[in-house]
Amino acid sequence: MEENREGHGLAEGEILSVWMLLFVALVLLPSVFRVSLGISHFYVKIVIKTLEWATLQIEEGEGSFPHAGIIQRDETSMEEEIAGRCQGCFSLADVMYFSKKGCEAVAEDEVTRRFSSEELLSWNLLSRTNANLHHVSWKLAAVWVTGILIRYCLLLHCIVLYVTSQNWKWIYGFISFRVKGWLSSQVQMICATLGIRCLSGLVHFHNRENKPQEGGICVANHTSPLDVLILTSDQCYSLVSQVHGGLMGLIQKCCMHTSQHVVFERSEMKDRHLVRKKEHIADKAKLPILIFPEGTCINNTSVMMFKKGSFEVGGIIHPVAIKYDPRFGDAFWNSMKHSMMTYAFNVLTSWAIVCNVWYLPPMVKEEEEDAVHFADRVKAVIAARAGMSMLPWDGGLKRKKVKESFKEEQQKKYCQIVIENEFVGNGNVC
């Protein structure tokens, strides 16, 4: 019995040694030297071929993936529909226009959809996006089960490696920050690269000549907490973010030891927050500031309103566009629905995290241009490069009610239509 136990112990030790050797040779050392062995590219190609095959199987089995859209909207503006119907005069039939728009908003408004998972054109073989399509054929069912085993039995083990890489970052980052800033930056970039590879990540960086410089401000669209990890793998930043609690708060506190970040409470005075950012960018020796002006995560399909506070600071703005490939997994973090732990589990059990990052040419505020218009101009550039739709709505609507000013704006539009046609006061009613 003792000999059998010793034999099992030796076998387990050998397996662990081989596993650690493979990790060091294939993951750790390439991350330290910032080189790619092509393993991620090869893995992603295999997943793409598998998903294409699965799509053909579904089409042959006459299966279809249900789409989220449930209504077809009429994009006719209020001016065209009301003014064109009765030359702009007041009509009781106008009530139907507002009733229709109200029903559309209740059924499916363009804001709420941005806070749910991105709609897929075809099934990506993930259990949480499964619409019972694995019953289409036994071949598809076999591949689906194999995918579950790979993702939950192999890829999920990478969580240990990921946590180890982040602990290494916090410990050595704290030490190196006190010794030399350059060394601290290198440690952070290495650990971020290691973290991405532990998540089966593949990031394509474009136009690196436009990377943010020291003393500048980097603004990017926001989909996931992974945005920070991805951008830090290519360059270090000082983050501007609100104070979090829970697991996210713990990570935030640990990161404060590795760099000069700017954190704030939502209740903090705006003027004080603005002064702190100005003081940071005034020091050219400090890292560029990384800001997500949307203030919340959006589902990788749109870019919503940029808060003007980030564009009142002055200085050079470096726009960055981030776009995830939804076929391999949902990178969007719906903080209203999933905790940080649940989100991390979903990411670790996805096929991969694949995204493109574009560094766009730096931008400055023009003369006589206010912060709001400058923010809209930067947002338009990011949305166009990432191929996303641009919405004027505040992402804070995810947690707040619609402002009364938005309702009043529609009322003013209607009143203006009636007044301009000079029917008010003349007793003209259609």
CA distance 323 to 301: 9
- Domain co-membership, 211 together with 328: yes
42 occurs within a structural domain: no
- Domain co-membership, 99 together with 212: no
Cβ pair 317, 255 in contact under 8 A: no
Higher pLDDT, 109 or 215: 215
pLDDT tens per residue, range 387-410: 999 988 888 777 666 667 767 777
Question: Which pair of structure tokens corresponds to residue 406?
Answer: 């938005």
Counted domains in the chain: 3
pLDDT at 169 over 60: no
pLDDT of residue 425: 44
3-state helix, strand, coil in the chain (%, to 5): 55, 10, 35
CA distances to 13, 16, 394 from 20, rounded to whole Å, are 10, 6, 47
CA distances to 58, 195, 252 from 174, rounded to whole Å, are 52, 18, 13
307 occurs within a structural domain: yes
193 occurs within a structural domain: no
- Domain co-membership, 217 together with 357: yes
- Domain co-membership, 319 together with 375: yes
Which residues have a Cβ under 8 Å from the Cβ of 103 and sit 6 or more positions away? none
91 occurs within a structural domain: yes
- Using a pLDDT cut of 70, give the percent of the chain over it: 63
Round the CA-based radius of gyration of the chain to a whole number and report it.
Answer: 26
pLDDT of residue 105: 62
- Domain co-membership, 314 together with 206: yes
Domain carrying residue 103? 78-115+412-420
Q: In this predicted structure, which of 131-135, 136-140, 234-238 has the lowest mean pLDDT?
A: 131-135
Strands 353-359 and 201-206: parallel
- Domain co-membership, 394 together with 416: no
pLDDT of residue 216: 82
61 occurs within a structural domain: no
pLDDT of residue 113: 77
- Domain co-membership, 29 together with 84: no
- Domain co-membership, 7 together with 108: no
pLDDT tens per residue, range 326-382: 999 999 998 888 888 888 888 888 999 999 999 999 999 888 888 899 999 999 999
184 occurs within a structural domain: no
- Domain co-membership, 231 together with 360: yes
**Amino acid letter for position 403:** K
Q: Which pTM value belongs to this model?
A: 0.77
CA distance 350 to 224: 15
- Domain co-membership, 228 together with 106: no
- Domain co-membership, 356 together with 218: yes
429 DSSP 8-state letter: B
pLDDT of residue 361: 95
pLDDT of residue 28: 72
- Domain co-membership, 252 together with 108: no
Mean pLDDT of 237-247: 67
